[in-house]
Amino acid sequence: MNQLLSIFKQKFAASPAFLTRAPGRVNLLGEHVDYNDGAVLPAAIDREIHLAAASAPEEVVSLHALDLEESVSFSLDHLNEKKDLEGNDLPAWALYPAGVAWALKDAGFKVTGMRAVYSSDVPIGAGLSSSAAVEVAFAVTWQALARWKADRMTIARLCQRAENAYVGVNSGLMDQFASAHGVEGHALYFDTRSLEWRPVPLPAGTAIVIADSGVRRSLTTSAYNDRRQACEEAVRELQKFMPGIHSLRDVSPTELAAYSEYLSPIVERRAEHVIKEIARVESAVSALHRNDKRAFGALMFAGHASLRNLYEVSTPELDVLVEVARRLPGCVGARLTGAGFGGCTVNLVEAAQSEEFIEGLKAGYQQETGRQAQVYLCRASQGATVEKLSLRF
């Protein structure tokens, strides 16, 4: 943190007015259902974006990404052009804060010039929502700088719009929601249709362990959008027999079985994953409320098998991580987390055995793949916060 403040002073010859943190998230269950109106079960985690910022008198945003050692400045008056002040295309990392500024302005919120330095310990491309954390961090910072009021759901939805319409990634709302709404020690049950949510306590005596496979992916170039289109096709075909449905959320496993012969094999597999995954989330919440770790863990393993076999978004490396975890003492459940095509697995582990589990997972993964996994012991954390620093300087 001190480094962030020091770099800000070096770059801008001034002190920042605000210090913002916004967490990444891990999804415990409910993968690829948020854009199908299903309920999801993420948790904000203590891997975070930290941002030092102050307003600027001109309509210019000047950013320094500390981890990349890159800087860029762009005008708030020409956001649609996606260019820096020299007329060059904005680098990919700068599209996220620029997109937030664009979405906020388009919604009628005041967006001031800004000077900012930020850093992150959320692994990029690992399925832990580094992009959503950046978006939420900048949104709540602009809220503090310009002193306007909006609830956290409004902010999350505007950040989602930035990612969808400006960056070009067809993501659902879960990532931004979790970064904005996290509750320490809890998962978040989030109904993506009604936007109702509630915290759900994680099992006593357990820890969250995230294992990064080291395989990176880009959502914009992966088959993510293909999966989403398959779900939409399934709804269109099923509406011929069930005209009242609006999304796969409205289809039960029994109804899918009744009409699956009218779907292409690939579309049927995608729909089966989504429909059964939505049911798994509801079962998982019930298990958590009765502190049934074993049932919750079984649902995690079943979710991974479905993502591997039906949605086909796993990789050999992710499969190895899950299978190694399954054999280790203390493992309650394991599955890939995030969109897939690389990234991380999430493991629910007995806290007393977490250190031995981490060492065993690293060793087993390296033995079977020749790769080294970065493994993080995490806790469910609070959502984004903004601290006013003016009194400290």
> Mean per-residue pLDDT for 18-25?
96
> Got the DSSP string for 228-243?
HHHHHHHHHHHTTT-T
Q: How confident is the model at residue 2 (pLDDT cuts 50, 70, 90)?
A: confident
Give yes or no on whether 2-200+381-392 and 202-378 have one common fold.
Answer: no
Residues annotated as catalytic are 175
Say what the pTM is: 0.91
User: What CATH number was assigned to the domain covering residues 202-378?
Assistant: 3.30.70.890
pLDDT in tens, 103-137: 999 999 999 999 999 999 887 766 677 899 999 99
pLDDT band at 393 (very low <50, low <70, confident <90, very high): very low
Q: Are 35 and 228 in contact (CB under 8 A)?
A: yes
- pLDDT over 80 (residue 1): no
Per-residue model confidence (pLDDT) at position 95: 97
Please state, as a whole number, how many other Cβ atoms lie within 10 Å of the Cβ of residue 349. 27
Q: Cα-flanking dihedrals φ and ψ of residue 145, to 5°?
A: -65, -40
* DSSP H or E stretch at residue 47: strand 39-56
pLDDT at 392: 44
pLDDT of residue 372 exceeding 70: yes
Q: Does domain 2-200+381-392 have CATH number 3.40.309.10?
A: no
pLDDT computed for residue 391 by the predictor: 46
Quick one: pLDDT at residue 218? 59
- How does pLDDT run across 285-303, given as a tens digit for each residue? 999 999 999 999 999 999 9
Overall average pLDDT of the 2-6 stretch: 90
| pLDDT tens sequence across 152-179 | 999 999 999 999 999 998 778 999 999 9
Residue extents of the structural domains in the chain: 2-200+381-392, 202-378
Q: Is the pLDDT of residue 219 over 70?
A: no
pLDDT for 387: 96
Overall average pLDDT of the 354-359 stretch: 98
Q: Which SS3 state, helix, strand or coil, does residue 202 take?
A: coil
> DSSP secondary structure string, 57-119?
SSSEEEEEETTTTEEEEEEGGGGGGTB-TTSPBPPGGGHHHHHHHHHHHHTT----EEEEEEE
Specify the residue for token string 């709540």.
140
Q: What is the pLDDT of residue 81?
A: 97
Is residue 29 within 8 A of residue 281, CB to CB? The reply is: yes
